[in-house]
Amino acid sequence: MSSPTTIVLITGANKGIGFAIAGLLAKEHDGYHILLGSRNSERGRKAAESLQREGLSVEALTIDVTADESIAAAVRTVELKFGRLDVLINNAGVALDIGKDIVTTRAMFEETFATNLFGPAAVTEAFIPLLEQSTAARIVFVTSDLASLTMRADPQGRDNHVAAPAYRSSKSALNMLALGYAHRFRDRGWKVNMDNPGFTPTDMTGGRGTRTLEDSARNAVRLATLGQDGPTGTYSEREGPLPW
Ligand SMILES: NC(=O)c1ccc[n+]([C@@H]2O[C@H](COP(=O)([O-])OP(=O)(O)OC[C@H]3O[C@@H](n4cnc5c(N)ncnc54)[C@H](OP(=O)(O)O)[C@@H]3O)[C@@H](O)[C@H]2O)c1
């Protein structure tokens, strides 16, 4: 491996939007080395190998965002190999109540929040010591336009036909979590931002969507590679800022 300058971890990157972010970032940014996070080692290895075959600087890293011991093992691996982390992309997520006409249950809320909120919180906290070793730390939270309270409060708001109370509220809470990190590390120059990839055909949507995987990855890649003059604490999609 050539000496990488920027170490990036993307959670849930063995498929879908995370995989697309990994490919686009490695393809378009020399010197970026991608740790392709996957909760399943075999799926991660296969996904990483498919990008390695394209000559990209990618390796698999096993990390289940709902399991503290898995997160701790991932931190140890990154510390031993690289001694720091430059970019963390919290992408792993589930949408258990989207497209399903079912009564929301406590179990569904618990599982949704475990992955979409408690997961990114635990992962981010665990990697802070390694992000502190970076000269230009960046954190991207992959959220959703369905997180927007402003759009939800507008009767004519975008996607207001989508109920998804567990998914929506987990992503609204994720935005609040992300803003906390933006405030906490603002004076240190960290760039902590929120990305809506947009409606994209992945397993999460049953293959439905209105944009390509590459288009869905574009804004996360922009936020992951912001310069020191870039913004922090923003909520955006490829087309521009989103209302909170
Ligand atoms: N697709 C859309 O239209 C859309 C729109 C807005 C926002 N988003 C957001 O974009 C992100 C990626 O979604 P996607 O559409 O690419 O979905 P996807 O194809 O279902 O991929 C989700 C990824 O998250 C991983 N994951 C789930 N639970 C995990 C856990 N406990 N630990 C580690 N990884 C876990 C999955 O791993 P496995 O393969 O092991 O299941 C998979 O790699 C999510 O945060 C989603 O909310 C998607």
- Whether ligand 1 lies within 6 angstroms of the CB of 150 is answered as no
Helices assigned H by DSSP within the chain? 16-28, 41-52, 68-82, 106-113, 119-131, 149-153, 165-185, 213-224
Token pair belonging to 87: 């970019």
The answer to whether residue 203 sits within a structural domain is: yes
What mean pLDDT is reported for the chain? 95
Domain count, the chain: 1
Q: Which atom of ligand 1 is nearest to the CA of 114?
A: 31
Note the pLDDT of residue 3: 47
How far apart are the C-alpha atoms of 218 and 158, rounded to whole Å?
A: 21
The domain of 196 spans 6-241
Ligand 1 pocket test: which of 39, 68, 142 has the largest number of ligand atoms within 8 Å of its C-beta?
39
pLDDT digits (tens, 9 = 90+) for 141-156: 999 999 999 999 999 9
The answer to whether residue 1 sits within a structural domain is: no
Note the pLDDT of residue 221: 98
Domain harbouring 211, CATH code? 3.40.50.720
The answer to whether residue 50 sits within a structural domain is: yes
Ligand 1 pocket test: which of 204, 208, 212, 237 has the largest number of ligand atoms within 8 Å of its C-beta?
204
pLDDT digits (tens, 9 = 90+) for 92-138: 999 998 766 555 688 899 999 999 999 999 999 999 999 999 999 99
Closest CA to 213 of 83, 4, 19: 19
The residues annotated as belonging to the active site are: 144, 171
The amino acid sitting at 6 is: T
Where residue 238 falls (left for φ over 0; alpha for ψ -120 to 50; beta otherwise) is: alpha
pLDDT digits (tens, 9 = 90+) for 181-203: 999 999 999 999 999 999 999 99
Contacts of 231 (CB under 8 A, 6+ apart): 191, 193
The answer to whether residue 95 sits within a structural domain is: yes
Does 226 score more than 70 pLDDT?
yes
The answer to whether residue 119 sits within a structural domain is: yes
The answer to whether residue 236 sits within a structural domain is: yes
